Structure 1
Amino acid sequence: MDSAAYYRLYHTFAAGFSGAATTHSDDIIMFPTSKTLAFLVFAPLAITLFSPLTGGCAPAPSGAEGTSKPMAGSNAAMVVTANPLATSAGEEILRAGGNAVDAAIAIESVLSLVEPQSSGLGGGGFMVYYHAADKRIEVYDGREKAPAGAHSDMFLKEDGKRYGYLEAKNSGLSIGVPGMVSLLSLAHDERGRLPWNRLFEPARALALEGFTVSPRLASFFEKYGMRLIPTTEDQGPLDAYHYFFDETGALRNRIKNPEYADTLAMIARDPDDFYRGPLAEEMVAAAHHAPRAGTLSLDDLAAYRARKVEPLCMDYRGRTLCGPPPPSSWVAVAMTLGMLEATSFPSGDEMTDWNLFTEAQRLAYADRDFYVADNDFVPVPLDGMLNREYLAKRAALISSDVAIEKALHGDPWAYEPKRTAALPGKDTTIDYAGTTHFVVVDQWGNAVSMTATVESIFGSTRMAGGMFLNNQLTDFAKQPRDEAGVLVANHPAPGKRPRSSMSPTIVLNGDGEFEMATGSPGGNSIIAYTLKTLVGVIDWGLTPQEAVNLPNVVARGDTVRVESARASQEMLAAMRAFGFQVKESAGENSGLSVILRHDDGELEGGVDPRREGTISLINAMP
C-alpha cells in the first residue's frame, strides 16, 4: 500500500469513529475537541489491521477529525478562521457583496477584539492575495518597524546581560510601529469592493454589545496565571489586568470594549488617524510608561507605510507556490519543498517520507536562521537560496539510512551573481507564538491567505485605544552579536523590520489558477506547520482537514519536536532509530486554516482542531 492510500484509509477509518461534524453549505461548524470512546478503542486497531508500515500517525485525541464536504457552484465562497465570531464577520461581508479583501478587514478587526492574545490592530502581518481576473499574486507587507530610537543593544542591560524574555516582552522597549491598519488600508485602496467604513461594523457591534470570553482565551490565564500581564504598578501599566479581571480579581466571563469601538469608528472615518492625533499620543504614552520605557514616537507612527511587494514563488510538482519575501521566512517553505523534490519524496513508505520531510526542514531552518532578515537593511541571498542546483546540493546531504548529525547552514551566496556582504553571525532569535491565520475565497474566485500577529501572548500587554500593542521587537535576535562579536543579520536597528516566521501561502495550478491557500500561527514553527499541509495535500493526496490533523513535526536545529498526542509510538521509535533527537511535545500551537479548490471548482476547507477554528461554506451568493 503506498503512502497516499495508507493516509487516506487511516483518516477515513478514524473519522468514522470520531463523532466529527460535517459541514454543509451555509453552515458554520466549530469542530469539537472531546474524545470519544469508540475512536480511542477502534482507531488504533485500524492502524494495526490496515498498515503494513512500521511507523504511522496515531489517531488524534480529539473528535475533530472530520472533513468538510466540497461545495459546488462557481459563485461559491468560503471563510476559515481561528474564531467563530471572526468567521461570522467574514461571511457577513461576503454576503453583503464584499470580496476577499473586504472580508479579511472585517475578520482581523474582530480577531483584534476576541482573540487579543494572538493578533490585532496594534500589531502587523502579511497578506497574500490572488486576483482571479488576471491570475495575479500580490503581497501586502504590514510588518512592524523598529522606532528611530532603536539600536542593536536595546535589549541589553547596563552590565551587558540581556533582559529576561518576560522583562523584554512586557515593556515599552518591545513595541514596534503597528503595521496592520496601514496594510488593510493599502489592500482596500487597491482591491476592496465595499465602502471602507462598512467593514468595521461587525467588530464595532461586538465591542459595544460585548462578547463571551472563549475557552481558549480563558485557558491562557489558567495555564500561565499572572505571568502574562502586570498585576502591580512596578511591573508596568495595569490596563490589561483591569480589562480581563473584575474588582474581586475574578476573570470576566463577558467583556465590553467601548474604547475599541471608538478606535474602530475613528479608523472607519480615516485610517490615517490611527497614526496621528489622540490615539497615536496614547500609543506613545503606553510605550514610554515605566518600567523599561521604549522610544516609540509620534514621528515614527506618522512615517509608517505598509508596502506592496513582489511575491516569492517556487515551482513544485507542476504548481506555483507563492508567499511573502523577507522579512517573512517564507523562503524556508520554498527551500524545503525544493529539497524534497530533489529526493525520492514521496517514497511510498510513510516513515521514509517523514524522515525526508524532517531532514529537509532542518537544512532549510539552518539557512533561514543564518541569512534571513529585513532585506532593506541586510543583503539576503534569495536567488541562491532558491537556486535548484543549490537545493539539490543541500538535498544530497540527506541520507535514507541515518540522520544528519548536525544541520549547518550552506553557502547560497555561491549561487548568486556576486557576494554583496560578509557572512553574518550566528542567530539566536526566539520568535514566540502569539499569532493567527485565516483564509478567504470569494464568489469571484479571489483569495486571501493572511497571517497576523502581536508576537507573543497579548503582545507587550500594554494597551491603547482598547487594543493590545505588539511586542514585535523581541523578534529581533536574542543577542545582537554572536560569540565572535559579529552582528547577526536579524539584529535591531532604527526603522528595521524584525524577521518573521509568518508564511501565508497560495498555490496555483498549472494554468495559473487558484488551487490552495494555507498558513498557520506558531512562531518559528509556522514554517513546519505550513509545510505539513502542503505535502499532505499535494504529495500524500489528503484532504485539507486530513492534512491539518497530521501530527506536527518541527525540526529547527538538532532537536526534532514531535506532537506525541497525534504520533504513534511506532513513529516516535522509528524516528529515534533513524538518529533524530526526538522531543515529544505535549501540545503544539498551530492554528492552520486551509482552503482547497478542486479541478471542478468545488471548495473544501480544513481548520485546526487545536484551536477554536470554524469553516463557513457559502454556496449561493447574490
Structure 2
Amino acid sequence: MKKLFLLLAFLFTPIFAQAQGVVSAADPRAAAAGTEMLRAGGSATDAAIATMLALNVVEPQSSGIGGGSFILQYNARTNRITTVDGREAAPMAATDRWFFDLEGKPLSHAAAVPGGRSVGVPGALRAMALAHKRGGKLPWARLFAPAIRLASQGFDVSPRLNNALIQFSGHVDPAYRALYSTPDGKPLAVGTHVTNPEQAALLRRVAKLGPDSFYVGPQAQKLVAAVNGAARNPSKMTTGDLAAYAAKDRPVLCGSYRGYKICSMGPPSSGGVTVLMILAQLERFDMAKLGKDNPVAWHLFAESSRLAYADRDLYVGDPDYVKVPLAGLLDRTYLASRSALISPDSTMPKVAAGTPVGAPARVRAQSQEVHGTTSLSVVDTAGNIAQVTTTVESPFGSGLAVDGTILNNELTDFDIMPEKDGWLAANRVEGGKRPRSSMAPTIVYGPDGKVRIAIGAAGGSTIIAQVAKALVGVIDWKLSAQDAIGLGLLYAPGQVAVAEKGTQLDAMIPALLGLGEKVQSAPLGLKANAVERVKGRWTGGADPRSEGVVMDQQGRTTVIKRVGAQPNRPSE
C-alpha cells in the first residue's frame, strides 16, 4: 500500500506542480498579498490587484492609487490577451504651456516636478476596476485586506524605502514625510516599524464603496483641493476631471522574434513598440552564436536600441490626440532598412529617426522619465496571467499626498517644450491627454503557441532596454528568466551608452570602445519581474538588484542571490 501511495504521488506531482500559481513582485510582503488571494481561490487578476495595493503601502515611493498603471491580462481558456490603459491624464485646463512660468519661460524638469501642476488624474484604481470586471473572481473588497492590514498594523521600513527617503524625499510635503521620520526629522532606519492610519482608512473606504468613491464626492474634492492649493506649481484640476476619467481598452500590440510572438502595451506607452523594434532589428544577427559574453552582441544591442529610441522619441504619443504610425514603425521592410544601418564592426556616427510609412512630421521629444515605478507578474492555477507595470513617476511622485497616499507627477512625462522649428511635438501637453510612457508589460508566446514568459520592468526609459535584453537572454541565450533579468544592461537611448557598473559589462568596456562605442560606467537602479513556463511548470524571476521575490501560492519563496548594495542605489 505504501508503494502504491508513493507511485501515485510520483505520477501526480507534475500535475500539482503545473497547477501552482506564482507571484513575482518587488517586495515580499506585496507578493504575499498576491499569494493570499491565490490560496483563497482568486484569479491572477485578483492576486495582481492585491499585490498592487500592498505595494502602495510598503513601496510608496514607486506606485499607488495616486498614480497609474498598464495591465496585460492573458485568458488561458481563450488564449487571448487584453490590455488596460490606466495611464494618468492631464486636466482639461492644461495647455501646451502648462509648464511655463509667469514670464513665459519653460520650467526645468526638476522645477516642474514638485507640487500640483505635475499631478495627472490618477488612473490606477480605474484600471484595477476594469481588470477586475474582466478577470476577477473574488469580491472587490477582499482584495484590499492585505494592504489595509499592512497600513493599519504596520510594516518594517525596507532598505530600498530607507534609501529613497534619504535621497529623494526632499520635495515631499512635511506632513507626509513625518510618517517616515524620527522626531528630529531624520528618515526612519531600516527595520523601523511604521503604520499609516490615514491610508488604511482611505483603503477601507474604497474597498467598501468601490472605485467611484475615489473619483467623485468628498475624496475627489480633497484631491483637487490638494493639487490646486499646492504651495508650489498649483494646478487647475477640477472634480469633473476626476469624474470623467476612464480606464481604456487598447489594442494589444504584437510582433515576432525568431518564431516567438511578443505582445505588449501600445500607445500611449512607447514601451511595446520600441521593444519590438529593437528585437526585429537584431533578428538578422546570430545573437545565439555570439553569446552573452561577446562584446559584439552588446554593441549590436546598443545600436539597435539607438535606432528604436530615436523613432520612439519622435513619433509616439497618446493615439487619441496624435497620429502614431504603428504599422509603419513595425513594417518588416522598414525595420530591415533600419537594421541595415547597424554594423558589427563599428558604431554609427550619428543616429536619427527614420521615416516609416504614415509618419507625420514631428519634433524630437524632450521629456525626462525617472525611476519611481514597479512591476509585477502573476500566473494562477488555471494558467491565466496578469502582467502589470504601475507608477507614481518620480520617487514619491509630486511630493503631495492625500490621506497618506502619494500623488503622481506623471505630467512631467510630457514634453515641456511643445514645439521646435515650427513643428508640434507628438508628446506635448494637451487637456485630457495621457503622457507617453516607457512601461512595457509583455507576454510572449513560444513557437508552440503557448505562453512562454510574462515580464515587465521599472526604471523610466531603461524599462524598454531591460525587457528587450531579458528577451534576448531567454530566447537567444537560453537563460532562465532569473538569469536573464540578472544580466547587466548596456543602455543606449542615444549616442552615449551606459554600461551597468558592477556587472559582466565592466570587462567589455575596452572592447566596446574599440568598436567605436561611447561608453560610461554607472549603476542603473534596475528592477524587473517575470513568470515563465519551463517544461510545463510555472516559475519566475525577480531582480537581484531589488528586494523582489518569486513566491508560489503556498508562500514558498525562491532563493535569489542579491547583487549590489541596495541602500546606495542612485535611483528607484
Q: Give your verdict on TM over 0.5.
A: yes
**2:336 aligned partner, one-letter code:** A
Q: Match for 1:429: what amino acid? A: S
User: Could you give the per-residue CA deviations for residues 362-416 of structure 1, whole angstroms, max 9, x where no partner exists?
Assistant: 1000000010000110101000000011000000000111011111100012xx4
Pick one of 199, 207, 211 that aligns with 2:143: 199
Match of 2:280 among 323, 338, 363: 338
Per the TM alignment, residue 619 of structure 1 is displaced from its structure 2 partner at its CA by 6.7
Aligned equivalents of 1:215 and 1:363: distance in 2?
Answer: 37
- 1:221 to partner: Cα distance: 2.8
The equivalent position to 1:318 in structure 2, one of 250, 259, 262, is 259
Given candidates 382, 388, 394, the residue that maps to 2:326 is 382
| Matching residue of 2:563 | none
Change (3 A) 1:172 1:76: same
Distance in structure 2 (CA, Å) of the matches to 1:620 and 1:469: 31
- Higher mean Cα deviation, 436-445 or 601-610? 601-610
- Identity fraction in percent: 42
- Following TM superposition, by how much is the alpha carbon of 1:568 offset from its aligned partner in structure 2, in angstroms? 4.4
Kindly indicate whether the alpha-carbon contact (under 8 Å) linking 1:506 and 1:517 is maintained by their aligned counterparts in 2. yes
Residue matched to 2:37: 93
Indicate the residue corresponding to 1:276 in structure 2.
216
Among 477, 480, 486, the alignment partner of 1:540 is 477
Equivalent residue for 1:255, pick from 188, 191, 194: 194
1-structure distance, mates of 2:284, 2:526: 28
Judging changes above 3 Å, is the alpha-carbon distance between structure 1 residues 356 and 199 closer, same or farther for their aligned structure 2 residues? same
Match of 1:430 among 368, 373, 382: 368
Equivalent residue number for residue 302 of structure 1: 243
1:274-322 CA distance string (max 9 Å, x none): 1011111111011012221011110000000001121000111111110
SS, match of residue 315 in structure 1 = strand
Which position in structure 2 is the counterpart of 1:264?
A: 203
Could you tell me how far apart the structure 2 residues matched to 1:275 and 1:143 are? 15
Q: Show CA shifts across 1:330-368 (max 9, x none).
A: 100001111111334334352221111111111000000
Counterpart in the other structure of 1:610: 545
For the 8 Å contact 1:462–1:469, the answer to whether it is kept is yes
> What is the count of residue pairs matched by the alignment?
535
- Among 159, 162, 172, the residue aligned to 1:215: 159
Note if contact 2:166-2:187 (Cα within 8 Å) is conserved in structure 1: no
SS in 2 for 1:185: helix
- The 2-side partners of 1:241 and 1:205 are apart by 21
| Cα offset, 1:169, TM superposition | 0.9
Indicate yes or no: 2:528 matched with 1:592.
yes
Who is 2:226 aligned against?
A: 286
Following the alignment from structure 1 to structure 2, what is the Cα–Cα distance between the partners of residues 71 and 292?
A: 57
Q: What are the residue-to-residue correspondences of 1:543-622 with 2, within 5 Å?
A: 543-585=480-522, 587-598=523-534, 600-618=535-553
Alpha-carbon deviation of 1:247? 3.1
Q: Residue 386 of structure 2 aligns to a residue in which SS?
A: strand
- Residues 569/266 of structure 1: CA separation in 2 closer, same or farther (3 Å cut): closer
TM-superposed CA distance for 1:610, in Å, is 1.1
Q: What is the aligned counterpart of 2:384 among 446, 466, 482?
A: 446
Number of the residue aligned with 2:92: 148
CA RMSD of aligned residues (A): 1.7
Q: In the alignment, what sits opposite 1:522?
A: 459
Q: 2:400 aligns with which of 462, 483, 497?
A: 462
Question: Do residues 129 (structure 1) and 82 (structure 2) align?
Answer: no
Deviations 1:75-96 (A, max 9, x none): 1111100001101101101001
Q: Contact 2:220–2:242 at 8 Å: present in 1 too? A: yes
| Aligned-residue offset at 1:533 | 0.8
Amino acid in structure 2 at the alignment position of 1:207:
A
- Confirm or deny: 8 A CA contact 2:88 2:435 kept in the other structure: yes
Find the aligned partners of 1:360 and 1:120 in 2 and give their Cα distance. Answer: 33
Quote the Cα distance in structure 2 between the aligned partners of 1:470 and 1:570: 39
Paired letter, 1:297: T
Cα contact 1:239–1:462 (8 A) shared by 2:
no
Gaps of 5+ in 2: 1-13, 557-572
**Whole-angstrom distance in 2 between the partners of 1:332 and 1:584:** 24
Q: Deviations over 1:260-285 (max 9, x none)?
A: 11211121122111101111111101
CA distance in 2, matches of 1:286, 1:396: 52
Residue 184 (structure 1) aligned with residue 120 (structure 2): no
Q: Helix, strand or coil for the counterpart of 1:259?
A: helix
Report if aligned partners of 1:146, 1:176 keep a CA contact under 8 Å in 2. Answer: yes
User: How many Å separate the matches in 1 of 2:469 and 2:394?
Assistant: 23
- 2:145 is paired with a residue of what secondary structure? helix
For residue 611 of structure 1, give the secondary structure of its aligned residue in structure 2.
coil
Distance in 1 between the 2:16 and 2:313 partners? Answer: 43
Aligned 8 A contact 2:304 2:339 in 1: yes
Spell out the pairing of 1:413-428 with structure 2 (5 A cutoff).
Answer: 413=357, 416=358, 421=360, 423-428=361-366
TM (normalized to structure 1)? Answer: 0.84
CA–CA distance in 1 between the matches of 2:375 and 2:444? 16
Letter of the 2:544 partner, please give it. P
Superposed CA deviations along residues 39-90 of structure 1, whole A, max 9, x for unmatched, are xxxxxxxxxxxxxxxxxxxxxxxxxxxxxxx996231111100001101101
Instruction: Indicate conservation of the 8 Å contact 2:304/2:342, yes or no.
Output: yes
Mark the CA change 1:358 to 1:71 in structure 2 (over 3 Å): closer, same or farther. Answer: farther
Alpha-carbon distance change, 286 to 453 in structure 1, aligned in 2, over 3 angstroms? same
Tell me how far 1:446 sits from its aligned partner.
0.5
Separation in 1, partners of 2:530, 2:16: 17
Give the letter for the 2:539 counterpart: E
Q: Aligned equivalents of 2:182 and 2:167: distance in 1?
A: 19
What runs of 5+ residues in structure 1 fail to find an aligned partner?
1-69, 230-236
Aligned-pair distance for 1:166? Answer: 3.1
